[in-house]
Amino acid sequence: MEDYYILGDVARLLDIKAHRIVYAVTSGHLPEPALRVGHKRVFTTEDLERIARHFHVVPRWKKHQEEHADKRNDEVEVRGLVLKEPFTVESSGTASPEVRDGNGAVFCWASDRGKALVVAGLLESASGK
């Protein structure tokens, strides 16, 4: 499945000002993206790589992959937190249900078991497994 990005996403991922990308496209240094939605340019991953080569930058997701290549596959990074799968929901008596990672560390508490199961499911789906 192809990923799509708007100009702001491209600028953030490549750490380039948006007006520089627009200038490169409108001046013909880079090809116009094939897709437009609501008069906005929609870039594909291939377009991002082409833009990165043009500006001689490494995309942020590649920097992240290179920095974390030695991490084990069962760890998930969520907004700076590194969690280990699987995620479980545990009730401890009268206290609220807890969502825990594979190390047993508490990720969060929920008001009921259903909400805790939703959070655990979201964490697992974020890991891409």
| Confidence (pLDDT) at 62 | 63
**Three-class SS of the chain:** CCCEEEHHHHHHHHCCCHHHHHHHHHCCCCCCCCEEECCEEEEEHHHHHHHHHHHCCCCHHHHHHHHCCCCCCCEEEECCEEEECCCEEECCCCCCCEEECCCCCEEEECCCHHHHHHHHHHHHHHCCC
Domains along the sequence of the chain with CATH: 4-64 (1.10.1660), 72-126 (no CATH)
| Confidence (pLDDT) at 118 | 76
Taking only the tens of pLDDT, the chain with its 129 residues reads 578 889 998 998 898 999 999 999 999 999 999 888 888 899 998 999 999 999 999 877 665 455 555 554 555 555 555 666 677 777 766 667 777 777 677 777 777 777 777 777 777 766 655
CA distance 20 to 115: 44
